[in-house]
Amino acid sequence: MKQDYDVIILGGGPAGYSAALYTVRAGFSTLVIERMAAGGQMNETTQIDNYPGFSEGIDGFSLGMKMQEGARRFGAETKYAQVTAVSLEGKVKRIDTDGGSFTARAVIIATGAGHRHLGLAHEAELVGRGVGYCAACDGQFYRDKTVAVVGGGNSAAADALVLSRIAKKVYLIHRRDSLRATKVYHKPLEKADNVEFVWNSAVEELHFQEKLTGITLRDLHTGDARRLELDGLFISIGREPATELFRRQLELDDQGYIVAGERTETNLRGVFAAGDVRTKEVRQIITAASDGAVAAHYAEEYLNDAQ
């Protein structure tokens, strides 16, 4: 594997591989550096029905592999490694990983954002077996079942509303006594007779037998604990962008996302941010893929100008 590329893309999700497809087809040598497996957050989703072109839907892992293969077909390379340091300021950008160092003239950051986790014992191993982070993706597996949503923001409110139309019963568990979600969600949630608010409460323990069977809840005012039998638990407590490595070089917003407009340009020339890692309103697979194409376009423009 060579060390020097025209474009290095950090992150092999939909933004990363769509950017790679475009830069490599434009004739620029392209390396994608991915930590785990192609697909990024899509790998957390068993069934994706909202990405066009797959009339029967597709699982996230397969879609990630297809995106990678599509870019590889035209010559995009992938290095599986953990990025340990970046130097983005000069004309030649340097990326250090636990598998060697690489340089490029342009860098597209597509490291995405992850769901914030509760950090409970067994939470990770129960993902896809009763624990989920996206009701729009996995809600349909809980038709006529009993589920709970944790959180009090717009995501939790939207998830609870989606689930109220699918599940038999939805508990909305929040650590405060009111939602921080915008008012537009309050009335429909109060009107849904299968939604029950559980205020001032925290999930303390997950119970399972192969799949989730219930949770222990702690009342934060009284200190009392009680058990709730559940088929599904959706954790909707916000997201965290993967931007720690860029903190000193790139402008981030107050939530840690890379500040970049619709042209995906960051405060540094030759450095672009695409997908969920960028400041934006809508974070979906299709908007990430779209961002990748846009970032590739402006990276190509930058590389042509810089030649």
The DSSP bridge partners found for residue 85 are 96
What are the DSSP calls for 34-60, one per residue? Answer: ESS-TTGGGGG-S-B-SSTT-TT-B-H
Matching residue, tokens 């004739």: 27
Q: How many CB atoms lie within 10 A of CB 215?
A: 24
Cα distance between residue 22 and residue 74, in whole Å: 9
Of the two residues 146 and 154, which places its CB atom closer to ligand NAP in the complex?
Answer: 154
Count of other CB atoms within 10 angstroms of residue 244: 11
106 beta partners: 7
Instruction: Give dist(CA 151, CA 207) in Å, integer.
Output: 19
List residues near ligand NAP by CB under 6 A: 116, 118, 150-156, 158, 175-176, 180, 236-239
Q: Which of 6, 138, 159, 276 is catalytic?
A: 138
Shortest distance in whole angstroms from residue 95 CB to ligand NAP: 29
Q: Which is nearer to ligand NAP, 53 or 119 (CB)?
A: 119
Alpha carbon dihedral 41, 44, 47, 52, in 10-degree steps, equals: 0
| Least distance from ligand NAP to the Cβ atom of residue 280, Å | 10
Q: Of the listed 59, 96, 134, 219, which one is catalytic?
A: 134
Residue with nearest beta carbon to ligand NAP: 153
Cβ proximity to ligand NAP: between 106 and 235 the closer is 235
Task: Give me the catalytic one of 6, 137, 231, 291.
Answer: 137
Give the residue with the Cβ less far from ligand NAP, 225 or 306: 225
| Nearest distance from C-beta of residue 238 to ligand NAP, angstroms | 3
State the nearest-atom distance from the C-beta of 46 to ligand NAP, in Å: 21
For this structure, is 137 an active site residue? yes
What amino acid positions are annotated as catalytic residues?
134, 137-138
